[in-house]
Amino acid sequence: MKNNISKIFKLLFLSFFAVIISYSFVSCLEDNVNEYAATEDDMSKDGLFVGGHFNAMIKDVIPTSDVDANDYQRAQNLTGDIFSGYMAHIGTWNSSSHNGTYNLYFDKWNDVGFANGYTKVMGPYAKIFGKTEDKVYLAMATIVKIMGMHRLADNYGPIPYTKFGTGGLTTPYDSQEVVYKEFLKELKEATKELSDFVDVNTKGDKPLVKYDMIYGGDALKWLKLGNTLRLRLAIRISYVEPELAKLHAEEAANQKYGLLSDVSDIAQLKSYGGHAVYHPLETVWNSYADTRMGASMDSYLNGLKDPRLPSLFQPAAIDGAYHGVRNGLYIFDKAPYEKMSAPNVRKNTPVLWMTAAEAYFLRAEGALRGWNMGGSAKDFYEQGVRASFTQYGVSGIDAYLTNSTDKPIRFQDMVGYYSIAASSTITVAWNESDSFETKLERIITQKWIAMFPEGQEAWSEFRRTGYPKIFPVIYNSSSGQINTTVQIRRIVFPQEEYNKNREEVDKAIGLLNGPDTGGTKLWWDAK
């Protein structure tokens, strides 16, 4: 792709191995490369070289490629999944002083997502870029790269990106503002390349069909995903860069091939073409027995009488109803908590990236802000809920959408003494006379339900908007670094970065405009 993407990553490829040494993640990179037994000479035919590394990338946007679920648990479940209110930890690690109670310095848990991003997403991308000039391959890989790297930026804030590969034995960081603007620019370029390809693809060619575990080489679906991801990131910056957000949002929403709109468009990682995927969350809730339904989910789903509840969670062993757990507990015996509702995720459940429902909710918020999304906030909101019901094969959508009575309910602690009143009075039915904030809360609350179990994105949206209103932790072990009421805003920089790249980390803290703690807000967290 002869554009800004190529300018950035030409140097990345040339000095990739020198740079990666500055990280402590060399062994991970080597494991990732050695996964493919063929030599480079062997890998020239049928896109094998590119396809192998593309396949590696998509497996670790959300970590799934480690031999067990440890990477997923530390990078996803013990961050976004619990901080979003989706789930609650019930593990007994370190006398319950860990991420779940806002101690962000235990056992280098928060190094994992960073390491995963650079060795298993950026690393394979650099190899793809250095091996091919195929514009379609590069466009698809760019969308995957940004899908993975925006998660890192939303965790840490400043990250190495535009200068990655140019720092010798150190790696400079970019501010989150610079990174996000580069993401949006690259997505515009990548979707243009895919659109041009779809325009002329009369034979139905399927790029990287043998290796694409998301869409099986369907370039049109990748284009729709790229447009929708661009819309997601545009909405993300709506409070800090409203005009730029509007520009990108309107271009993405009105691109001629459109956004994710149907259940068949859902972006999800699944077993395909001999490549097996097992959802690591199944291991976390089942084999490890370390997570259960969050109290906020309990309050909202039970209170709204949501028909999707059995699709999202399993009945509690204690009584066959659906019960959650408060976050931030000191747990010394998890046996009673194991009887609460577990996520309804099995080994063969696809790993969710982005849904058609989310695309409709993004358009609903854009329309609410007065942007040209091609329709009204009400219509997109209701289409989003309908799409979610269709995704799960659940009936009762018409009654649900007109329900203006049921509200979130008081959380009843079935184990301890931490029952709490409902945090919101939001209902489902759209009311055009409601205030902007009430409408926004309604949109985000339903988006939150529809995106389950993708807790990283749900946590980002909670931080950006304040919705849904989720219960705070019970015990806060941050020594005053994180406000219990405001809740956690980011993850601290990895300890390995302090050990190996200290000078650049110190500069990154300056870009963060606050201390390297979980209480410092990110650039886009500006409401």
* Residue ranges of domains in the chain: 280-465
As a whole number of angstroms, the distance between CA 186 and CA 189 comes to 5
pLDDT of residue 30: 31
Between 18-32, 152-166, 394-408, 505-519, the lowest mean confidence (pLDDT) is in 18-32
Q: What percent of the chain has pLDDT over 70?
A: 90
Residues 182/183/186/190 CA torsion (nearest 10 deg): 180
As a whole number of angstroms, the distance between CA 85 and CA 488 comes to 12
> Nearest 5°: phi and psi at 411?
-80, 125
As a whole number of angstroms, the distance between CA 392 and CA 266 comes to 12
pLDDT of residue 165: 67
Q: Of the candidates 400, 377, 379, which has an alpha carbon nearest to the alpha carbon of residue 389?
A: 400
In this structure, the strands spanning 267-269 and 291-293 are: unpaired
pLDDT of residue 169: 59
3 state SS of 89: strand
pLDDT of residue 86: 98
DSSP state of 521: P
DSSP string, 45-79: GGGHHHHHHHHHHHHTTTT--SSSSHHHIIIIIII
Residue 422 has pLDDT above 60, yes or no: yes
The more confidently predicted of residues 308 and 166 is 308
pLDDT of residue 67: 86
Retrieve residue 73's tokens.
Answer: 């648990």
Contacts of 445 (CB under 8 A, 6+ apart): 300, 424, 426, 467, 468
User: How far, CA to CA in Å, does 139 sit from each of 3, 143, 188?
Assistant: 11, 6, 10
Furthest-apart CA atoms within the chain: distance in Å: 66
3 state SS of 228: helix
The more confidently predicted of residues 485 and 10 is 485
As a whole number of angstroms, the distance between CA 258 and CA 411 comes to 40
Contacts of 65 (CB under 8 A, 6+ apart): 32, 56, 59, 71, 120
Q: Please, which contacts does 160-164 make with residues 24 or more away whose CB atoms are closer than 8 Å?
A: 160/118, 160/504, 162/8, 164/12, 164/19, 164/118, 164/122
As a whole number of angstroms, the distance between CA 83 and CA 459 comes to 6
DSSP state of 318: T
pLDDT of residue 35: 33
Residue 224 has pLDDT above 70, yes or no: yes
User: How far, CA to CA in Å, does 312 sit from each of 120, 206, 332, 342, 452?
Assistant: 29, 33, 27, 9, 7
Confidence of residue 170 (pLDDT cuts 50, 70, 90): confident
CATH number for region 280-465: 1.25.40.390
Model pLDDT for residues 469-480, shown as the tens digit of each residue: 999 999 999 999
As a whole number of angstroms, the distance between CA 109 and CA 152 comes to 14
Mean pLDDT confidence for 343-348 = 97
As a whole number of angstroms, the distance between CA 389 and CA 393 comes to 6
Between 67-71, 180-184, 368-372, the lowest mean confidence (pLDDT) is in 67-71
pLDDT of residue 167: 56
Residue 311 has pLDDT above 50, yes or no: yes
Element holding 196 (H helix, E strand): helix 176-200
Mean pLDDT confidence for 32-40 = 33
Confidence of residue 521 (pLDDT cuts 50, 70, 90): very high
Amino acid identity for residue 409 in this structure:
I
Mean pLDDT confidence for 253-272 = 97
Q: Are the CB atoms for 413 and 326 separated by under 8 Å?
A: yes
Paired with 87 in beta bridges are 293
